[in-house]
């Protein structure tokens, strides 16, 4: 049954993309139905899993590669980890498909959109159901492709096309890391299967495992938009909002975290790699948070927030067995509330459509929308409370557990995570205040209205999940559930009680909210972005100069290298080939002047030639 | 030095002068005359050797050379005249189109 | 190395060198005649009386005169300019010629053939009759008869070929005597061209040389009595040229 979970959306993608215009009318509905069926299958599998004794089973589909020493099967592994992901992907995915039926209702290319969405779901499912790194890589590349297609969905916009390219190229860098990791696996263990590698790490050298861990981290950074490969995520907001919700919030960007958690056996024996993960995660969670503070585009704020929250997940993954389960827990809750907020933002944009038919993303044009769009406001508020960690909501449970684990590990890591939580509270409150509260700053011709039920329905469902997601932690259920996969958490050795971290977090969050209220809520919001601002704001507006760093360090030297290679090819390689004929031509140009048409010159050459021959004969026969 | 050597040397010198004349002179008729000079030089060598070897083969050969030279001159001059009619010039440098 | 040789050889060489350097083609032809006559004399000294005669009669007399005829037809005034059109050609040619000459002479000087046998034995053929010509005839019509016949065919072909080459197709019917007369009178009427034949040179002059212009009734020289080719060669011809018609 497991292959069908992948197969159904894949069939949907094939039918819609290959079928073409004929499927325009009913295609989107088929595409929404199929992930729904996959979700049903996932639920059935999950319930079966809960009661089963042997908790993981492998479906061997066929032998994919059989070359020399390398044997790779197209194997699917269904265990506790994949079961949770299956539910997340198919569940949230189906809700977003339903939402898109309304959001993309007026787009003439929506059939293609749904085809790409199905393709994405199929690839993501392949990624999480893989039994070995190569099948995972197949899914990895598939989601990268789907992301490119969907970011650049509105092809007529040059900014969208550029953003799609940027995302794909930066992901490529990460993919190189993953490819090298797979090769290293093969060289070290002779196989890329998780089972073989997990048993083999005990015998491998630590430095090799450190390198493996770092390479896997590089791959994860690319997909999950962590430093240094983080610059593409904000540009990826060019895609339609359902894409941002599904791919760049809930699922694709979490693939890096999945990879880290799935490769826990590697990280457990390579403390160096684990330290690198923690460092990258902490820097990124602060980076994303700072960026989110200065953006006026609602989607870019949420994107910065995503970057930051994934930093939390990576931090948890880097903390070892103490944090793996919480990384997954936060991943799930984040999937709920971030998708919720993105869809809510899409609903707001939809409602704020101007006379030109374009949705407006600038928060400076919002304000006092809670009365105009009540359902959107309420569902968005649920997500907001979850993300800042309001006690009782899902985010509170997941984030606090991470901060708690961080404090146990090293107090300064925990302190930085706390700081991140505070900044998160600040910018999310700013977003809420600018959008739903305050004075109306609507432009002329804009009449905010509530979205249709097909869009608000998924919002309500996701809001409910944002609230209730914390139930997963009930009785340490999720930790126990994932223990066979990620290992048992160590005993709590620090003297701090469990509620200490929570209290600290709530205090910091309250400070952040208060600061936002003081700076944003109390003062009137300018209708256009002010240019005279303090230098931290300028720096944050430029994404902490992430793009500029990439340009100077990578793009410019790359361009120069390409120029050099081009010259070498044109003048060196081509020169050798065309130089020969050119030399011949030049020589011919010299020699042809001998033929000047005068009979007397020719006679002279005849005589001269004859003389030379006679002389030669004489010299040879000299006695 | 044999008895025949002076005649051979003279023949060689005349031949050389004829060759150089062919190369240097531009008037087609003068070039032709130099060719005749070369033929005469060959004739001299033939006759000298005839006497050297003591049989008349050389003289007979010289005789034939003269006959053939006569025929050749007839045709050559007719050609030059025909060319002169169309080109109004007897210079060998005029026909220089077959070049680079 | 007979006395004939010693005298004629330098003359021949000088004359041959002269062919290289003279500007007028007629002078070159005359110098060639000198060479050929010199050669005839050498043939005579080499016991080849027949060739001596044939050289003068055929070569100098017929062939060279043919050259002169064609020279007159082609343009006896034509003289080569001294400037060489092809760069470096003169030097290269002289050097090559020099090299050729040196090569040939040096090679010849290396050889030795022994003394001349002389033609006394060869010309003593024939029943009781000696002499160069009968012996030659004997060789010609016995051993070399095929070559003889072939060369005669060649001569015929050459004659026919020359006729073909020199023939000019008449493009319009040949004007008759009456037509020519009518034409002349018409030209006289329109342009005042002199109607009668041109005055012969030397008429009413004190001299009857071809180059002396005829005198008109009032005593002045007549420009039309000297052909243009000879005008520069006559005394007073240059004034005639200036007053040219």
**Among B3, B8, B16, B72, the residue to mutate for chain C (most C Cβ within 10 A):** B16
Which of A:572-611 have CB within 8 Å of C? 596, 598, 600-601, 604, 607-608, 611
pLDDT, residue C53, reads 95
Q: Report d(CA C128, CA A217) in Å as an integer.
A: 128
The residues on A that touch B, with CB distances below 8 Å, are 592-593, 595-600, 603-604, 607
Q: Report d(CA A165, CA A108) in Å as an integer.
A: 23
* Chains interfacing with B (3 or more CB pairs < 8 Å): A, C
Q: Does residue A40 have a pLDDT over 60?
A: yes
- Residue range B82-86: mean pLDDT, rounded: 84
pLDDT greater at residue A413 or residue C205: A413
CB A164 within 8 A of CB A151: yes
| Residues of chain A above pLDDT 70, percent | 97
DSSP C22-42: -SBHHHHHHHHHHHHHHHHHH
**Of A186, C139, A444, which Cα lies nearest the Cα of B57?**
C139
Please list every residue in chain C whose beta carbon sits closer than 8 Å to the beta carbon of residue B54: 116-119, 121-122
Which value, to the nearest 10 degrees, does the dihedral of the CA atoms of residues C195, C200, C204, C209 take? 160
Tokens of C74: 């082609």
In sequence order, which residues have a C-beta less than 8 Å from that of residue B83 and are 6 or more positions away? Answer: B28, B90
- A60 forms bridges with which residues in the sheet? A75
CA distances from A401 to A67, A396, A408 (A): 46, 8, 11
Name the DSSP class of A534. -
B43 CB near a chain C CB, below 8 Å?
A: yes
Name the DSSP class of A555. I
Q: Do B23 and C97 touch (CB under 8 A)?
A: yes
Q: Does residue C238 have a pLDDT over 70?
A: no
Structure confidence at residue A77 as a pLDDT band (50, 70, 90): confident
Q: Which residue of A has its CA nearest to B22?
A: A600
| H or E element at residue A65 | strand A57-67
CA distances from B91 to A225, A584, B27, B37 (A): 89, 35, 5, 19
Name the DSSP class of A70. E
CB A142 within 8 A of CB A123: yes
Tokens of C171: 């493009």
pLDDT, residue C203, reads 59
In sequence order, which residues have a C-beta less than 8 Å from that of residue A293 and are 6 or more positions away? Answer: A423, A426, A427, A430, A537, A540
Structure confidence at residue B40 as a pLDDT band (50, 70, 90): very high
Q: Do B13 and C157 touch (CB under 8 A)?
A: no
Q: What angle do CA A484, A490, A493 make, to 5 degrees?
A: 165
Q: Report d(CA A511, CA A426) in Å as an integer.
A: 8
Q: Could you read off the pLDDT of A157-199 as tens digits, one per residue? A: 899 999 999 999 999 999 999 999 999 999 888 888 888 888 8
Q: Is the dihedral of CA C123, C129, C132, C138 positive or negative?
A: negative
pLDDT, residue A495, reads 60
Q: Does residue C233 have a pLDDT over 70?
A: no
- Residue range C202-212: mean pLDDT, rounded: 66
How many angstroms from the chain centroid is the CA of residue A93?
16
Q: Do A611 and C103 touch (CB under 8 A)?
A: yes
| Residues of chain A above pLDDT 90, percent | 27
- C45 forms bridges with which residues in the sheet? none
Point out the residue among B22, B26, B99 whose CB comes nearest to the CB of A597: B99
**Of C105, C35, A598, A615, which Cα lies nearest the Cα of B24?**
A598
Q: Does residue C212 have a pLDDT over 60?
A: yes
pLDDT, residue C153, reads 96
Q: Do B95 and A593 touch (CB under 8 A)?
A: no
Which value, to the nearest 10 degrees, does the dihedral of the CA atoms of residues A232, A238, A239, A242 take? 100
**Of A197, A334, A364, which Cα lies nearest the Cα of A257?**
A334
* Chains interfacing with A (3 or more CB pairs < 8 Å): B, C
Please list every residue in chain A whose beta carbon sits closer than 8 Å to the beta carbon of residue C103: 611, 614-615, 618
Neighbours of A98 (CB within 10 A): 19
pLDDT, residue C245, reads 44
Q: Could you read off the pLDDT of A549-603 as tens digits, one per residue? A: 888 888 888 899 999 999 988 888 888 888 888 888 889 988 888 788 888 888 9
**Of A369, A491, A375, which Cα lies nearest the Cα of A441?**
A369
Q: Do A598 and B100 touch (CB under 8 A)?
A: no
Q: Report d(CA B51, CA B2) in Å as an integer.
A: 12
pLDDT, residue A5, reads 86
CB A584 within 8 A of CB B82: no
Average pLDDT of chain B is 90
Q: Report d(CA A293, CA A210) in Å as an integer.
A: 35
Q: Do C89 and A600 touch (CB under 8 A)?
A: yes
Q: Which of A233-237, A534-538, B68-72, C221-225 has the highest mean pLDDT?
A: B68-72
Name the 3-class secondary structure at C69.
Answer: helix
As a three-state string, the secondary structure of A364-399 is HHCCCCCCCCHHHHHHHHHHHHHHHCCCCCHHHHHH
pLDDT, residue B13, reads 96
pLDDT, residue C27, reads 92
Tell me how close the Cα of A586 comes to any Cα of chain B, in angstroms: 14
pLDDT greater at residue C162 or residue A490: C162
Please list every residue in chain C whose beta carbon sits closer than 8 Å to the beta carbon of residue A618: 103, 107
Q: Could you read off the pLDDT of C190-204 as tens digits, one per residue? A: 888 777 777 666 656
Q: Which residue has the tokens 């256009």?
A: A528
pLDDT greater at residue C241 or residue C115: C115
Point out the residue among B7, B12, B63 whose CB comes nearest to the CB of C105: B12
Name the 3-class secondary structure at C75.
Answer: helix
Q: Does residue C244 have a pLDDT over 50?
A: no
Name the DSSP class of A295. -
Q: Does residue C243 have a pLDDT over 60?
A: no
- Residue range C52-79: mean pLDDT, rounded: 87
What φ, ψ does residue C182 adopt, rounded to 5°? Answer: -60, -40
With left for phi above 0 and alpha for psi between -120 and 50, is residue B89 left, alpha or beta? beta
Please list every residue in chain A whose beta carbon sits closer than 8 Å to the beta carbon of residue C97: 607
Average pLDDT of chain A is 86
A617 CB near a chain C CB, below 8 Å?
A: no
Reported for A27-33, long-range contacts at CB under 8 A and 24+ positions apart, including other chains, are A27/A111, A27/A114, A27/A115, A28/A100, A28/A101, A28/A104, A28/A110, A28/A111, A28/A113, A28/A114, A29/A101, A31/A97, A31/A114, A31/A115, A31/A117, A31/A118, A32/A94, A32/A97, A32/A98, A32/A100, A32/A101, A32/A114
DSSP A124-164: HHHHHHBSBHHHHHHHHHHHHHHHHHHHT-STT-HHHHHHH
Point out the residue among A596, A597, A603 whose CB comes nearest to the CB of B23: A603
Q: Do C1 and B70 touch (CB under 8 A)?
A: no
């Amino acid at each position: 049954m497991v292959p069908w979970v992948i197969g159904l959306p894949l069939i949907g993608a094939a039918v819609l993309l290959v079928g073409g215009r004929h499927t325009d009318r009913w295609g989107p509905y088929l595409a929404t139905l199929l992930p729904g069926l996959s979700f049903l299958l996932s639920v059935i599998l999950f319930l079966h899993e809960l009661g089963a004794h042997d908790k993981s089973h492998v479906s061997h589909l066929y032998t994919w590669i059989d070359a020399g020493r390398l044997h790779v099967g197209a194997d699917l592994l269904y265990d506790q980890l994949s079961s949770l992901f299956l539910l997340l992907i198919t569940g949230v995915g189906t809700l977003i498909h339903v939402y898109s039926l309304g959001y993309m209702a007026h787009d003439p290319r929506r059939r293609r959109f749904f085809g790409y969405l199905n393709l994405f779901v199929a690839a993501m499912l392949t990624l999480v159901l893989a039994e070995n790194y190569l099948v995972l890589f197949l899914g990895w590349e598939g989601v990268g492709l789907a992301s490119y297609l969907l970011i650049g969905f509105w092809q007529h916009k040059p900014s969208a096309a550029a953003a799609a390219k940027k995302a794909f190229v930066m992901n490529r860098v990460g993919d190189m890391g993953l490819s090298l990791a797979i090769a290293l696996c093969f060289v070290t263990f002779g196989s890329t299967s998780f089972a073989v590698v997990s048993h083999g790490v005990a015998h491998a050298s630590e430095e090799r495992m450190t390198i493996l861990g770092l390479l896997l981290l590089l791959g994860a950074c690319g997909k999950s938009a962590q430093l240094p490969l983080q610059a593409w995520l904000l540009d990826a907001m060019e895609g339609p909002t359902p894409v941002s919700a599904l791919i760049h919030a809930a699922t694709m960007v979490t693939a890096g975290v999945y990879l880290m958690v799935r490769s826990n056996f590697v990280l457990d024996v390579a403390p160096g790699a684990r330290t690198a993960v923690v460092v990258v995660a902490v820097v990124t969670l602060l980076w994303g948070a700072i960026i989110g503070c200065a953006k006026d585009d609602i989607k870019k704020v949420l994107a910065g927030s995503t970057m930051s929250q994934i930093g939390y997940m990576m931090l948890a993954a880097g903390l070892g067995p103490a944090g793996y389960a919480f990384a997954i827990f936060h991943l799930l809750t984040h999937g709920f509330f971030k998708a919720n907020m993105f869809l809510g933002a899409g609903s707001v944009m939809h409602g704020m459509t101007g006379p030109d038919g374009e949705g407006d993303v600038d928060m400076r044009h919002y304000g006092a929308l809670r009365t105009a769009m009540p359902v959107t406001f309420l569902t968005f508020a649920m997500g907001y409370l979850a993300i800042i960690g309001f006690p009782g909501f899902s985010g509170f449970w997941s984030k606090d557990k991470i901060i708690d684990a961080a404090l146990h590990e090293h107090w300064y890591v925990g302190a930085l995570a706390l700081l991140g939580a505070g900044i998160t509270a600040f910018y999310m409150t700013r977003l809420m205040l600018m959008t739903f509260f305050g004075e109306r700053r609507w432009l002329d011709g804009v009449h905010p209205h509530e979205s249709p039920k097909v869009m608000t329905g998924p919002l309500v469902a996701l809001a409910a999940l944002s609230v209730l997601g914390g139930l997963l932690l009930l009785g340490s259920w999720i930790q126990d559930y994932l223990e066979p996969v990620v290992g048992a958490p160590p005993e709590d050795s620090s003297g701090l009680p469990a509620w200490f971290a929570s209290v600290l977090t709530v205090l910091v969050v309250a400070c952040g909210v208060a600061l936002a209220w003081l700076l944003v809520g109390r003062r009137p919001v300018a209708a256009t972005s002010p240019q005279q601002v303090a230098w931290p704001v300028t720096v944050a507006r430029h994404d902490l100069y992430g793009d500029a760093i990439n340009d100077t360090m990578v793009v410019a030297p790359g361009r120069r290298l390409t120029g050099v290679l081009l010259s070498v090819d044109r003048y060196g390689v081509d020169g050798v080939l065309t130089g020969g004929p050119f030399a011949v031509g030049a020589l011919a140009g010299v020699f042809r002047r001998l033929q000047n048409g005068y009979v007397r010159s020719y006679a002279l050459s005849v005589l001269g030639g004859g003389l030379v021959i006679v002389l030669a004969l004489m010299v040879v026969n000299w006695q | 030095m044999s008895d025949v050597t002076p005649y051979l040397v003279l023949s060689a010198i005349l031949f050389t002068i004829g060759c150089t004349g062919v190369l240097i002179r531009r008037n087609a008729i003068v070039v032709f005359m130099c060719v005749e000079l070369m033929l005469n030089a060959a004739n001299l060598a033939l006759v000298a050797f005839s006497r050297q070897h003591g049989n008349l083969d050389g003289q007979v050969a010289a005789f034939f050379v003269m006959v053939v030279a006569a025929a050749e001159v007839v045709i050559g001059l007719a050609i030059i005249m025909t060319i002169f009619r169309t080109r109004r010039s007897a210079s060998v440098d005029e026909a220089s189109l077959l070049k680079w | 190395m007979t006395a004939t040789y010693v005298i004629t050889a330098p003359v021949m060489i000088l004359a041959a060198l002269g062919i290289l350097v003279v500007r007028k083609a007629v002078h070159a032809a005359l110098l060639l005649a000198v060479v050929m006559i010199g050669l005839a004399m050498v043939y005579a000294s080499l016991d080849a009386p027949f060739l001596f005669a044939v050289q003068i009669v055929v070569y100098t007399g017929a062939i060279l005169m043919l050259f002169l005829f064609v020279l007159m037809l082609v343009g006896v005034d034509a003289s080569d300019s001294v400037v060489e059109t092809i760069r470096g050609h003169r030097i290269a040619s002289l050097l090559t010629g020099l090299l050729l000459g040196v090569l040939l002479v040096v090679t010849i000087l290396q050889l030795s053939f022994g003394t001349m046998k002389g033609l006394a034995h060869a010309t003593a053929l024939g029943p009781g009759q000696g002499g160069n010509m009968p012996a030659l005839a004997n060789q010609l019509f016995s051993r070399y008869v095929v070559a003889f016949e072939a060369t005669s065919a060649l001569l015929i072909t050459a004659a026919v070929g020359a006729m073909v080459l020199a023939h000019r197709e008449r493009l319009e019917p040949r004007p008759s005597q009456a037509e020519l007369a009518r034409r002349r009178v018409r030209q006289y009427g329109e342009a005042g061209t002199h109607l009668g034949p041109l005055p012969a040179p030397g008429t009413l002059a004190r001299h009857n040389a071809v180059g002396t212009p005829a005198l008109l009734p009032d005593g002045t020289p007549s420009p039309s009595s000297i052909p243009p080719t000879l005008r520069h060669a006559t005394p007073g011809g240059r004034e005639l040229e200036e007053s040219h018609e």
